[in-house]
Amino acid sequence: MTNFKRTSPALLLFFLLLAGPAHGATLEVLEGVELHGFASTSYSYNFNDPNPATNENRIFDRDHNSFKFDVGELVLLKDAGEPGAIGFRTDITYGHSVPAVTKGDPDADFDIQQGYVSYNAPIGNGLTIDAGKFITHIGAEVIEGYDGWNYNFSRSFMFGLAIPFTHTGARATYTLNEQVRLMGMIANGWDNNSDNNDGKTIGLQVAYAPADTITLLFNWAGGPERNGSSDWRNIFDVVLDLSLTNSTSMQFNFDYGVDENGAGAGNDATWWGLAGILRHDYNDWFSMNLRGEYFSDDDGTRANVASGQNLWEITVTPEFRVNQNMLVRLEYRHDGSDSGNAFLNNDGTRSSTQDTVAVNALFYF
């Protein structure tokens, strides 16, 4: 006898497909549903040989001298691409790096990373409304999945320390023309499945593509974020993508955040950062990616030094495309800080730098 309490979502979908011929309504609902997958595994080594074995101020690549299954993702998707259409998306993730961060639980290895329903309201060109949990619109880098990943294996300081990961609420997206797209959002807050205060977070995005080779994103999110507080946190974010040639591209990202009364004693906490990425495709199977970044946390509310610090990093990531569904990346990264307490050493002391190397493999369909 099948134990449905232990049946996976993919197996349940398989049972539904088997039952479909006897149920025309089920087939009609499932028509157009896409199934996608993504998996990432890695190994990282820190030349500080930190004790405990933690790469400080990192996000997903926090484990030193360790092989990791970072994340496996199964996506069920039905696109609401035409006015009047309905759809949904569910991203089910399992792993030992990503779910613990996106779920906000250090012991978590499973997460519903995204889960929302969609309706393309027949207003003008079509107003797409999503309701549920979705990845934030803030920032240049992404959490990664079958439909997109970053040029570098490790995430920038800005990705992990400056911005949210997900929102739970509702958003509406409208494409004015080929150059301009608008998005508005209302949500519980930063990375909250349930709200932790009486306020709501509001978000906006303006996407502008003045040419085929240039894309600009202007992003903002603001609202009360701390438990039981009415003080507002605002994050302003700008992303610029440039295609210099058919083989070379650049990306720039700027963030500025302010948390009202976040530094204590009636003082606002502020942080800001600037990152740039250069990518060059040498041929069909090899690319080189270079990232440089500066992140300022003078009030000590975002990084791990309470007295505040300024962080910077430079990251070199060669990328090898094995075939159309798999790629392998190597990476060297140097982190620096103007604080001597930023990074762990082997003897338990701290220093102002850390250097890491990593290898990462991605599979997707």
The phi and psi torsions of 15 (rounded to 5 degrees) equal -60, -40
Q: How far is CA 214 from the centre of its chain?
A: 22
CATH architecture of 34-364: Beta Barrel (2.40)
Q: What is the pLDDT of residue 333?
A: 98
pLDDT at residue number 356: 98
CA distances from 102 to 105, 118, 192, 255 (A): 8, 22, 10, 20
**Structure-token pair, residue 162:** 């400056």
Q: Tell me how many helices (H) and strands (E) the chain has.
A: 4, 18
- Give pLDDT, residue 5: 40
- Give the contacts of 237 (CB within 8 A, at least 6 positions apart): 138, 139, 163, 217, 218, 219, 220, 253, 254, 255, 256
Beta carbons within 8 Å of 246's beta carbon, 6+ residues apart:
none
pLDDT of 63? 96
Measured in residues, the chain has a length of 365
From the CA atom positions of the chain, what is the Rg in Å? Answer: 22
Regions of the chain where pLDDT drops below 50? 1-9, 11, 14-16
**pLDDT reported for residue 220:** 98
Q: Is 190 helix (H, G, I), strand (E, B) or coil?
A: coil
Q: Scanning the structure block, which residue is given the tokens 């961060």?
A: 101
Distance in angstroms (rounded) separating the CA atoms of residues 205 and 137: 7
> pLDDT, tens digit, for every residue of 207-251?
999 999 999 999 999 999 999 999 999 999 999 999 999 999 999
CA 239 to chain CA mean position, Å: 14
Q: How far are the Cα atoms of 19, 146, 342 from residue 149, in angstroms, in the given order? A: 36, 8, 28
- 141 sits in which H/E element: none
Q: Where are the domains of the chain?
A: 34-364
Helix (H) or strand (E) holding 300: none
Is residue 74 within 8 Å of residue 138, measured between CB atoms?
no
Count Cβ atoms below 10 Å from residue 334 Cβ, excluding itself. 14
Q: Are 89 and 107 in contact (CB under 8 A)?
A: no
pLDDT at 6: 42
With contact defined as beta carbons under 8 Å apart, do 92 and 9 qualify? yes
Residue from 122, 116, 140 nearest 82 by CA? 122
Tell me how far CA of residue 144 lies from CA of 70, 93, 224, 363, in angstroms.
11, 11, 28, 11
pLDDT tens digits along 255-264: 999 999 999 8
User: How high is the pLDDT of residue 2?
Assistant: 38
Asked if residues 73 and 115 have their Cβ atoms less than 8 Å apart, the reply is no
Amino acid letter at 31? E
Q: Which two tokens stand for residue 148?
A: 């997109």
